[in-house]
Amino acid sequence: MVLESLHFSRDGGLEVLDQLQVPQKKTYIRVKDSQDAWTVVRNMQVRGAPLLAMVSALGLAVEALERAKAKREGAAEWLRERMSFLKTSRPTAVNLFNTMDALGKVVEDAVASGRNDQQIYHAYADAAEQMLEEDVKANKAIGDAGADAILAAMKAAGRDGAARVMTICNTGALATAGWGTALGVLRTLHARGKLERAYCLETRPYNQGARLTAFELVEDGLPGTLICDSMAAALMQRCGLDACIVGADRVVANGDSANKIGTYSLAVLSRHHGVPFYVAAPLTTLDVNLKHGSEIPIEERPDEELCSLKVEGVSHRVAAPGIGVWNPAFDVTPASLISGIVTDCGLIPKRSQDFDVAAFVPEKKR
């Protein structure tokens, strides 16, 4: 059985895979309303920038449809309040904010065109459902554009054949509605017979690489090798690598990109070893309201997550009690270290040291 990050239908409601239990257990939990959606996102039971936006949007859709059935009044005010609440779960991935803002526009348009409460609830739910389909399409497009970019870079470096590619965190079907962003590029390379090996970093402290990416590689029969984060430099030095590809939680106007902690180290190592370094992200991950990466809010997670290993939801303390802890969940890779930013609308134009994200967004959204 292929694991899916979520199941959604108008009649069946929403259930999500509890990712804290993978790969030991495959348990789906019901999300019956916006409060449940907020909780599964906050607790990391679902994670990955596109998925946490999707689960938030759909959790609220389920509740909106229930309210429509019960003929509850005040649809627009209620939806506005719930969307503001959903934005408070996690701060770094901009997909959540962009998605809520886009759905907010749907609600305001419905209000402006004189729709009644029932119609407003339904307009919201229709738009949220539509986003689910768009996410998978966007990921397939990223897969093609990313595979083309990596193969072109190999050719330019005089290397033919299949690619050896490193990635961090989980950016696959479990971080999205399906296929994945950076891991989607690896899937596309494999489908084209052009993936020699995918190297996935363990990704401390939450182990998304070891638990989720390794799981997806094995399930799909991709040639994969797991290494811990501190082995990346040695692998580049001793085995060679054709590219690194990572996901993103927020790409700002100059191309600076926030992603899972450890991504910046990987970009520095890639530059030192002459390895092309790519970021793969859908348009919903772009934030042209911020000019520089230093403006991106970086989530800090509880000490417990660094001091303990969690297996099947049970914590086992490994760090010495009493030690001080700093646990940022993300870091920012400067645009100057990024060779290409791959989106569902192709590569963002690169200037000498950064990217023109602002010029790209309006053009591609027209």
Annotated active-site positions, please? 249
H/E stretch holding 349: none
Q: Which stretch binds ligand MRU (CB under 6 A): 57-65, 215-223, 228-236, 246-254?
A: 246-254
Residues 89-128 vs ligand MRU: string with x where CB under 6 A?
Answer: ----x-----------------------------------
Q: Considering beta carbons, is residue 75 or 150 the nearer one to ligand MRU?
A: 150
Q: Which residues make beta-bridge pairs with 9?
A: 13
Q: Considering beta carbons, is residue 79 or 342 the nearer one to ligand MRU?
A: 342
Residues 312-341 vs ligand MRU: string with x where CB under 6 A?
Answer: -----------------x------------
Closest CA to 92 of 257, 280, 269, 333: 257
User: Beta strand pairing status for 286-287 and 250-252?
Assistant: parallel
Minimum distance of ligand MRU from residue 82's CB (angstroms): 22
Residues 249-288 vs ligand MRU: string with x where CB under 6 A?
Answer: x---------xx----------------------------
Cα torsion 81, 82, 87, 89: sign: positive
Q: Which stretch binds ligand MRU (CB under 6 A): 111-119, 216-224, 241-249, 286-294?
A: 241-249
- The closest residue (CB) to ligand MRU is 247
The phi and psi torsions of 172 (rounded to 5 degrees) equal -100, -150
Q: Which stretch binds ligand MRU (CB under 6 A): 158-166, 244-252, 266-274, 308-316?
A: 244-252
Minimum distance of ligand MRU from residue 54's CB (angstroms): 11
Binding of ligand MRU by 208 (CB under 6 A) = yes
Q: Which stretch binds ligand MRU (CB under 6 A): 108-116, 175-183, 268-276, 347-355?
A: 175-183
CB within 8 A of 126, min separation 6: which ones? none
Q: Which residues make beta-bridge pairs with 309?
A: 316
Cβ–Cβ < 8 Å for 40, 30:
no
Cβ–Cβ < 8 Å for 200, 246:
no
| CA–CA distances in Å: residue 239 to residues 35, 83, 212, 339 | 48, 48, 24, 21
Binding of ligand MRU by 209 (CB under 6 A) = no
Q: What letters, b where the CB count within 10 A reaches 16 and e where it falls short, cover 113-134?
A: eebebeebbbbbbebbeebbee
Residues that bind ligand MRU (CB under 6 A): 47-50, 93, 169, 171, 175-176, 181, 208, 247-249, 259-260, 329
